Amino acid sequence: MQQPQQAQQAQPIWDPISVLKMKNTDPIESRITCIGQTKKLRRCGLWISAKDLSSANSILQTLSRQNPSFADMRVQLRRLARLLLDKRYHYRKTTQINAKLREWEESIHGFQASRNVRRGQGEGIHVKVTKPDGTNVEIDVSL
């Protein structure tokens, strides 16, 4: 007799909304709004459609269950950037998408480095960092 298969979803291992600084910093409006940048170098903040937010949320849930690696997530992050740019001003601007991808790449690398430092043991620190070209660097620092 076959047992019913239970779909188990992996638990989130990181919070991409926090690490990638996606929420609007306005304390009154805490939802995710357009991630584009205005001419005055401020975050755009226009509302994103419910359909695009739903698709973005699905991607964010998937990302949260993957080991944070920019190289492995580049395609998903590009799609996410397109979903989170308002259709009126920023959606078609490749410069906005590329700038956001560079920002997210730095955020992910910083997050990886801080996670690796926290995992260090003993009298020193062992740091593992994945560089943008995909190579890994490991450093031992004695205290």
Note whether residue 5 is domain-resident: no
Per-residue pLDDT of the chain (143 residues; tens, 9 = 90+): 444 444 456 788 999 989 998 876 555 666 778 888 888 988 888 888 889 989 999 999 999 999 999 999 999 999 999 999 988 877 777 888 999 999 999 999 999 888 776 655 444 566 677 777 878 777 665 54
Domain count, the chain: 1
- What 128-131 contacts at long range (C-beta under 8 Å, 24+ apart), as own/partner pairs, is 130/69, 130/70, 130/71
- Three-state DSSP class for 136? strand
Note whether residue 102 is domain-resident: yes
Which amino acid would we find at residue 66?
Q
The closest of 61, 56, 63 to 80, measured between CA atoms, is 56
pLDDT at position 29 is 60
Note whether residue 10 is domain-resident: no
Residue 88 structural domain: 16-142
Tokens matching residue 18:
């926090």
**What does the alpha-carbon distance between residue 119 and residue 128 come to, in Å, rounded to a whole number?**
10
Note whether residue 29 is domain-resident: yes
pLDDT at position 104 is 95
pLDDT at position 4 is 44
Note whether residue 3 is domain-resident: no
